[in-house]
Chains A and B, each alone.
Chain A
Amino acid sequence: MYKAAAPLARLGSVKSLTIVGLLLFLLVILVPFWWIANMSFKTYAQIQFATSIYVPNPFTWENYTGLWTDTRFPLWLRNSVITALVVTATTTVIATLGGYAVARLRFPGRESVASLILILYLVPPALLFIPLYRVLAELGTTNHLTSLFLSYPTFTVPFCTWLLIGFFKALPKELEEAALIDGANRMKAFTKVLLPLATPGIVASAIFAFTLSWNEFLYALVFIQDEKSITVPVGLNLLIYGDVFHWGELMAASVITTIPVVLLYMFIHRWMVEGLVAGSVKG
């Protein structure tokens, strides 16, 4: 890491500006999270009548328990988990295979495939959701989680493949070359040599896929109607606009939904950053 060089003029004021900036950003980033968590521990009356704004008083867990007993949240959570796990599994397999092919194998049109993968990631779901709905309906999968198993990879696979291409390219080729020279075929070189080396990257890509799937909204909204089969984001949307007065529970649900992603993310944020900037900064 480059360090800021010492002989910069007016170091003092730059430093204090930086600290101020840091604090500002901290506030900007953290206040909304705090506001939601804060409300999740307040009773309905507190929220309604603004009795104690900054600190819940009395502090209550009733929204969290109410979420479990009064709403279908546990079901939605289950649906989200199942979907995320299935999609992560299929995505990881497809992306790893595809990423390896583009990163290591030589075949005509290799560069075009790489470009195509990036382009596909950018195709907006807002364009596809109507015809995709019809296709999935014709397959009889709408109103079931299957529709999500099929449609989610359309955005998780291109991104994860792109990510893994970058990772694979950064790994040293020598070990594979050695294995090939020793007579192993490509498949063996791939499974026995590359995969173990690439595990961190593959794990990062899997977590990425999980996060994308966990947070998706539009497809889940359009493809599934049965209240027992919807995912958490769609369920939350229902709680806002549907039944009356579920504010505290909505906040509790938001907190619960965000925690798994934040935890997973703590493990991989370094790779995530690398993945995000891969290619956009340098080749």
Chain B
Amino acid sequence: MRHRRISRRHFLAGVLGTSATLALATRAAPAVRKGANLRLWILKTYVAPTNKAIEVSAERWAQKNGATVSVEYFTFEDMQTKYVAAIENKNTPDVGQLETGAPARFAGMGQLLDLTTFARQVEGQIGKPTANVAPVTMVDNKIYAMPWYIMGAFWYVWRDVFEKNKVKLPATYEEAKQAAHVLNRPNENFYGVGQSWNRTSDGYGVMQSLMYSYGVGWAGRDGKYRSIKTPTMQQVMKWATDIYKEGIQPADTLSWTGSQNNENFIAKKIAQTSNGPSITFALEDALAKARDATERKQREEAIANHLALPHPAGPDGRRMWSIAMSLGIFKNTKDPDAAMSLIAHLLSPEETVSVMKESYGQFGPVLDKARDASKDYFNKNDNYRTFGRAAEWFAATGWPGPVTAAAAEVQATNVLTDAPAKVIVDKWSVDQAIEWEDKKIKDVYDTLRS
């Protein structure tokens, strides 16, 4: 492998202003000077205990090293604006949690430190990410962020409803749709499925899972634009719009916010929906807050009856669009060594497992050492076993190509969910919608700055 000797590339990386990389090349492990103060940005997820656990883990590092960490949160909603603001104002944090498309976007702007050597250095400690996740944080074969965990999406169903109606648990999108038809009971306000094409990850994320499982991607393996005007995309669009046209969903599905599918599922108004483990968390949390025996019984039943299946497969395989969270260091940091030390700490198997244990299965580690250490945790029950397998099915924005700034922008323009909306709401034909979507995507690739 070329990495054995320090190649010209590594020297260039060092020269290009990332002095820490050069420094690292001559040091064993990042040392932290006393009194270092770091700003850490982390994502506020729906599972509150995880957020707290990460804070606590960071505190432990601070204590151990005589340093301080101040933690700030961003949410799914303001992920973009918060980082945008920081970049424009030149007050980016030292270490930031980055969602799937962010490493590509920010590295392209020259905002992130090159962590290739660092990754090599700590490999012995923390391991490597799985092969399908690693490319998320790499641009031109350089690593710009350390992958930490993925938040998978799963196919939630009410097991008792399926059993009562003698319907087989769905493994593919087609089966899910058929099951929805059988289970649909609009007169009782109960619907077969609830999938909103809204501007949240529940919308554009599932659309991508659908597309990638059918083998359709708007970029090729090389990351360049690829037309989606194919018969397979027609099938995708058809599935996406049939579930609306065929009356198997609640009437207001298209206008749901990110949490309304959770709500509808927990209220047992829909039989199936795609979601992250936050539904399981909500149910377990509700049980913990039960006030009397009746409530306890109700909530225990709910937990027993809800089932998280692997996300459906399509003709081309089972691909689950997920959010891949990584940790990156912004180049404006005053203390790159401390930052790297913090990251190595957070990513260590022990710390990762401690955070993961508070995550109700939402947190799927991707580094192999952490994965090994967490096998027991995920063995709790069927649902958790499924959660633990998330990394197997992971597919990122821009599949089958790498995650690029262009792919991230396509997702950000909401064109993926606007297209089916045009068929459902504006009564366009499937062809028209695909044509329009393709044009918009091409436009992004044509006008993006490299």
Find out whether the CB atom of B46 lies under 8 angstroms from the CB atom of A243: yes
* Any B CB within 8 A of the CB of A108: no
Find out whether the CB atom of A140 lies under 8 angstroms from the CB atom of B89: yes
Supposing A227-B73, A241-B258, A242-B76 touch, asked if A134 and B263 sit within 8 A by C-beta, the answer is no
Find out whether the CB atom of A244 lies under 8 angstroms from the CB atom of B259: yes
Find out whether the CB atom of B75 lies under 8 angstroms from the CB atom of A244: no
Find out whether the CB atom of A143 lies under 8 angstroms from the CB atom of B257: no
Nearest residue (CB) in B for A240 is B257
* Any B CB within 8 A of the CB of A226: yes
A137 to B267, CA, bound (A): 45
Q: How far is the CB of B383 from chain A (nearest CB, A)?
A: 18
* Any A CB within 8 A of the CB of B78: yes
Find out whether the CB atom of B267 lies under 8 angstroms from the CB atom of A48: yes
* Any B CB within 8 A of the CB of A65: no
Nearest residue (CB) in B for A243 is B46
* Any B CB within 8 A of the CB of A267: no
A162 to B267, CA, bound (A): 53
Find out whether the CB atom of A244 lies under 8 angstroms from the CB atom of B85: no
Find out whether the CB atom of A225 lies under 8 angstroms from the CB atom of B282: no
Find out whether the CB atom of B259 lies under 8 angstroms from the CB atom of A225: no
Interface string of B68-89 (1 = CB under 8 A from A): 0000111111100110011011
A266 to B435, CA, bound (A): 57
Chain B residues, Cβ within 8 Å of A222: 81
Which residues in window 197-249 of A have CB below 8 A to B? Answer: 222, 225-227, 238, 240-245
Chain B residues, Cβ within 8 Å of A143: 85, 89, 91
Supposing A238-B77, A242-B75, A243-B259 touch, asked if A134 and B85 sit within 8 A by C-beta, the answer is no
Interface string of B358-397 (1 = CB under 8 A from A): 0000000000000000000000000000000000000000
Sampled A-B contacts (24; CB under 8 Å) = A48-B263, A134-B88, A137-B88, A142-B85, A142-B89, A143-B85, A143-B89, A222-B81, A225-B82, A225-B85, A226-B72, A227-B72, A227-B73, A227-B75, A241-B77, A241-B257, A242-B75, A242-B77, A243-B259, A244-B262, A244-B282, A245-B259, A245-B263, A245-B282
In the complex, the 8 A-B pairs of residues with the closest C-beta atoms, listed nearest first: A244-B259, A225-B82, A137-B89, A242-B75, A225-B85, A142-B89, A241-B257, A137-B88
* Any A CB within 8 A of the CB of B278: yes
A98 to B267, CA, bound (A): 58
What size tier do the contact residues of chain A reach? 10 to 19
The contact of B46 among A137, A238, A244, by CB within 8 Å, is A244
Chain A residues, Cβ within 8 Å of B77: 238, 241-242
Interface string of A110-144 (1 = CB under 8 A from B): 00000000000000000000000110010010110
A238-B77, A241-B258 given; 9 more Cβ-contact pairs under 8 Å: A48-B267, A133-B88, A143-B91, A222-B81, A225-B78, A225-B86, A227-B72, A238-B75, A245-B259
Chain A residues, Cβ within 8 Å of B78: 225
Question: Which has the most chain A C-beta neighbours within 10 Å: B72, B74, B89?
Answer: B89
Find out whether the CB atom of A244 lies under 8 angstroms from the CB atom of B263: yes
Nearest residue (CB) in A for B85 is A225
Chain A residues, Cβ within 8 Å of B89: 137, 140, 142-143
Chain A residues, Cβ within 8 Å of B282: 244-245
Nearest residue (CB) in A for B259 is A244
Nearest residue (CB) in A for B295 is A45
Nearest residue (CB) in A for B84 is A225
Q: How far is the CB of A239 from chain B (nearest CB, A)?
A: 11
Nearest residue (CB) in A for B90 is A137
A228 to B282, CA, bound (A): 25
Nearest residue (CB) in B for A247 is B263
Which residues in window 32-51 of A have CB below 8 A to B? Answer: 48-49
A225 to B262, CA, bound (A): 26
A242 to B258, CA, bound (A): 8
A134 to B88, CA, bound (A): 8
A245 to B286, CA, bound (A): 12
A244 to B282, CA, bound (A): 9
Nearest residue (CB) in A for B72 is A226
Chain B residues, Cβ within 8 Å of A242: 44, 75-77
A238 to B73, CA, bound (A): 13
Chain B residues, Cβ within 8 Å of A238: 75, 77
